Amino acid sequence: MRALGVHRDVVVVVSAFWQTACTAVRSGEEGFVIDSPVLPEELEALPGLLQEAGFPASGLLATHGDWDHLLGRLAFPDAALGCAESTAARLAGRPGEAARGLRGFDEEHYVERPGTLGLAGVQALPVPGKLSVGAEHELELHPASGHTADGMAIWIPWAQVLVCGDYLSPVEIPMISPGGTFEAYLDTLERLAPLVERAEMVVPGHGAPQPRESAARILEEDLDYLRALGERGEAAELPPGRRTAEQRRIHARNARALVPTQPS
């Protein structure tokens, strides 16, 4: 796990697994922890790390409902968890899905984890909308679906930092997961573009924070990839630097997701 300071009020922790990014933001005596690292020892260390750095954990936020972004409750079991209304609906409509995903991961990788993931009392947040942090600042919440059917990106105006969930990753190509759609993914990238232009730093869901220029390049590469995917399917070329065997497997799943299901 790596801790990276990107602004005096924003610190990013990047997990050793999948490079899943967790962002802490503060204003005065209040703060939020956005998304989560993955491994038990990382979650155990997170409260102490943030306390030592002077980052209060007044509440938790999740950019979307994939289990690897919901583990803040394991580090801060008494904290309220906020998410987009679309994510709250997903969690309510598929009870136990996140816990099953976590359990499957742990079994596959022989991970021993104390406790179980509880998601009771999730707070649904209107998106688009704003969320106060301290007495002086607000977070802006922007819709971000496409990777999944739910989600939000979080703009931190005073720090000029964009926390965008599973978009604009330097290590992972656009991934159309169950519930996500090609069209919605394109819409989200186009919606994020003006925020990227204003950002000093962009925090993707997987990978290290990116300065504006790098994030803008990734955004253009992702748009080019998705447009080529729509035109050529599996023959589309992957973005430079993201052509590993794993990314090719994700690409093959993306191509299959674009093929309409034939009626039986």
Taking residues 132-154, what's their average pLDDT? Answer: 96
Asked, for residue 128, whether it belongs to a domain, the answer is: yes
Taking residues 110-127, what's their average pLDDT? Answer: 92
Reply yes or no on whether the pLDDT at 260 is more than 70.
Answer: no
Asked, for residue 224, whether it belongs to a domain, the answer is: yes
Which residues are paired to 83 by β-bridges?
62, 124
What is the value of pTM for the model shown? 0.94
Q: Tokens 């190509």 identify what position? A: 173
Taking residues 228-237, what's their average pLDDT? Answer: 94
H or E, element range at 98: helix 97-109
Q: Is cis: bond before 128, omega within 30 of 0?
A: yes
pLDDT of residue 262: 36
Angle at alpha carbon of residue 127, lines to 125 and 129, rounded to 5°: 85
- Write the pLDDT tens digit of every residue in 29-77: 999 999 999 999 999 999 999 999 999 999 999 999 999 999 999 999 9
Q: Name the pLDDT band for 264 (thresholds 50, 70, 90).
A: very low
Asked, for residue 264, whether it belongs to a domain, the answer is: no
Taking residues 85-103, what's their average pLDDT? Answer: 95
Q: What is the mean pLDDT of the chain?
A: 94
Number of domains in the chain: 1
Reply yes or no on whether the pLDDT at 115 is more than 90.
Answer: no
Reply yes or no on whether the pLDDT at 153 is more than 90.
Answer: yes
Asked, for residue 225, whether it belongs to a domain, the answer is: yes
Asked, for residue 263, whether it belongs to a domain, the answer is: no
Phi and psi for 66 in degrees, rounded to 5? Answer: -70, 140
Taking residues 151-176, what's their average pLDDT? Answer: 97
Taking residues 5-24, what's their average pLDDT? Answer: 97
Residue 154 token pair: 């979080």
Asked, for residue 110, whether it belongs to a domain, the answer is: yes
Domain that holds residue 19: 2-258
Q: Within 10 Å of residue 134's Cβ, how many Cβ atoms?
A: 15
- Strand order across the 137-143 sheet: 129-133, 137-143, 152-156, 161-163, 201-203, 210-211
Kindly report the CATH number assigned to the domain that includes residue 195: 3.60.15.10
Region of poorest pLDDT, from 7-16, 19-28, 43-52, 116-125: 116-125
Residue in 66, 48, 41, 49 with CA at minimum distance from that of residue 205: 66
Taking residues 94-119, what's their average pLDDT? Answer: 93
Asked, for residue 76, whether it belongs to a domain, the answer is: yes
